[in-house]
Amino acid sequence: GMEKREAVKELGTWLDRFNITDYENKKVEELSKGNQQKIQFISAVLHKPELLILDEPFSGLDPVNVELLKEAVISLKNSGVSILFSSHRMEHVEELCENLCILQKGKPVVQGRLKEIKRSFGKKNVTIHSDDDLRFLQSHEGILQWKETADGVKLQIANEDISQEIFAMLQGKGFIRKFELEEPSLHDIFIEKVGAIYE
């Protein structure tokens, strides 16, 4: 009766959201891997669970479907669903997670709130875009990593004060199109914490 009508309506909404209303009467086996994944996702959330466990949910999806699924995950999170999510893609973890745990051989090497993990890492990144030769900066001792890019350089620095010193060194040294101080990425933290074990 009423409950079934609600469920059918809810299903319609999800099929619509994922642009797969045409497949309502198809067998799952006939669908592409990406569409099968969407159906699996819908069947997992249809009964409005309190806890949702997603294991590498974006693997094998093209960029458009990754965005669709991300939006769906965020709207579920905002509606109060607790989501446990495993992924090797640090940028997805960064976008979607508040708390995280990085496991290495089954043992946690990093865990806690994403914001606090980034803050306590201490090191920061600086991106500089310029057509001029920036190698004169290399002598600065606060620079831990130096990577030349197509547009200039990307630096890892010991702390944010160093960025102010580098900024001062750049004054009058040519045209700077971009100077950006950023938190370390989760990728940086992962490489350092997990990479140390592989060395």
Domains and CATH numbers, the chain: 2-86 (3.40.50.300), 123-183 (3.30.70)
pLDDT tens by residue, 58-95 = 888 889 889 989 999 998 999 999 999 999 888 899 88
Q: What pLDDT was estimated at residue 42?
A: 86
Taking alpha carbons only, the member of 110, 82, 109, 106 closest to residue 96 is 82
Q: What pLDDT was estimated at residue 199?
A: 46
Task: Please give the C-alpha separations between residue 82 and each of 8, 15, 70, 77, 189, in angstroms, as whole numbers.
Answer: 24, 22, 15, 6, 25
Backbone angles phi, psi at 45, to 5 degrees: -105, -5
In the chain, what are the helix, strand and coil shares in percent, each to the nearest 5? Answer: 50, 25, 30
- Two structure tokens written together for 137: 């900066």
CA dist 165 and 88 (Å) reads: 35
Q: What pLDDT was estimated at residue 5?
A: 78
Per-residue pLDDT of the chain (199 residues; tens, 9 = 90+): 767 777 778 777 888 888 777 777 788 888 888 888 888 888 888 888 999 999 998 888 889 889 989 999 998 999 999 999 999 888 899 889 999 999 888 899 889 999 899 888 889 999 999 999 999 999 899 999 999 999 999 999 999 899 999 999 999 888 999 999 998 889 888 888 887 655 4
Contacts with 185 (C-beta within 8 Å, 6 or more apart), sequence order:
90, 91, 94, 125
Task: Please give the C-alpha separations between residue 100 and each of 44, 51, 60, 111, 193, in angstroms, as whole numbers.
Answer: 22, 16, 23, 6, 14
Q: What pLDDT was estimated at residue 122?
A: 85
Contacts with 127 (C-beta within 8 Å, 6 or more apart), sequence order:
149, 152, 153, 154, 155, 178, 179, 180, 182
Q: What pLDDT was estimated at residue 198?
A: 53
Query: In 47-117, at which residue ranges do the beta strands (DSSP E only) sit?
Result: 51-55, 82-86, 99-104, 107-113
